[in-house]
Structure 1
Amino acid sequence: MIAAGAEESRTAAIADAKRLLRLSRTAALATLGADGSPLTTWVGCASDLDGAPLFLLSTLAQHTKNLAGDARGSLLLTSPPDRGDPLNHPRLTVGGPIAPHSDPYARRRYLQRNPKAKLYAPFVDFAIHRMRIEAVHFNGGFGRADKLVPADILAPPGEAAALTDAEDVLLAEINAAEGLAAQLAGRREAGRRVWRAIGLDAEGLDLAAGGAAARVGFPAPAFEPQAWRRRLADALASSSP
């Protein structure tokens, strides 16, 4: 019974950690100065296809200067403010080296999740950076501090070229269907909030409406577009009343 309970707790922790990694669009980034002094700053973030954190950083910012001297960083991801004690909500800390990342696909993913960054993304001092996760610390709230490793929270390796090539088409299909994104997000209320699909990966779909975000997770990864569509259709069917 204890083993079963521990496994359920670990499964829930992995799900919470993946959700935070995929849906967080701002986070606290800790870096080390030339004299070893720590600095924590508030930054925008997104996730690469495998879940690795992406940042749009300016060379003029102190945290970027720190990373140029010591690439090690630590990132704290939290849930949006909610009712109750904020310390009883899940949070995730990931750590590892952060380096410039010139992949155009990563840049597109970042801007899909942080559209307001398009105002300054073209400036010459801004560039996409990527963290290679080497350490994970998860705290799910009081009494929940499951031990996780990078492989637990990153998407499993697979040949995802076809999925990345089809991402724009798949997102357009979802956003073109009236009310589908809101239904996938689990929101059926009327109002001015417009839900849109903003990114995908082999394990699911990310959606956003203003500052709100939601994720549709798959029980198993899908690396081919048709298989991905079937996973999404299954998720939609299972969420319907």
Structure 2
Amino acid sequence: MLEVANLKQEGEFKFIEQGEGKVMLLLHGLFGALSNWESVIEKFSADHRIIIPMLPIYELPVREAGLPKLIEYLEDFIAHKNLDNFDLMGNSLGGHMALMYILKHPKKVDRLILTGSSGLFENAMGSSFPKRGNYSFIEEKVRYTFYDPNTATKEYIDEIFNTMQSMPMCLRIVGIAKSAQRNNLATELHKIENETLLIWGLNDTITPPRVGHEFNRLLKNSTLRFIDKCCHAPMMERPDEYNIILEEFLNERKSA
């Protein structure tokens, strides 16, 4: 898999780094993996330096599992890699982290790309606690994030199911999900002036289309694009359409 083949480690940080050019930093979601961005790497690593940190979602102390600790980790990683004026992209929880980071460090980031981002509203676990040992429950939750449930391969479902066998892992997931719900950014988004692209699945069940519209309203310099027959992870479910929209956004300045 992509993670195993290309994963690098420097101190406490594990990440993928591929290509040369302007840095594009990608942040995966709560149940995401580095491989979620495989199509983006294949398309853009020819002229971008793509960096994807493996977020320590499953390594945080249970009592500290939440967005504040994840943001600290992200800040430390960016400082370690000495990154500046980079494009920042996040899916789901990764989008939420991108927003929180840019609010603290607006000058460090050039452009922002969000897809299915939390930060305003998300319907992930609902009120249900992740059920250890219940494969059908995990399978249902994973498939719920895709318009075509078959997009979620058995390998992907197995990976998440195996992760959820540990009670501490379940507690971390719940802690981070609750932290995301507490960290609502509605009153802060007007401060962000960076050029922003919002790529949303028209059939997103986790952060529905109205959430994309609300982000578009609150982010003053944003553009919203929808992808039909697509749910919460467009870069996985509709990679070709996703990459076309992203490429148009990245090339806007070149043609201006």
- Structures share a fold, TM > 0.5? no
Normalised by the length of structure 1, the TM-score is: 0.28
Q: Which has the higher contact order (CA 8 A, sep 6+)?
A: 2
**Structure that is richer in helix per residue:** 2
**Structure that is richer in strand per residue:** 1
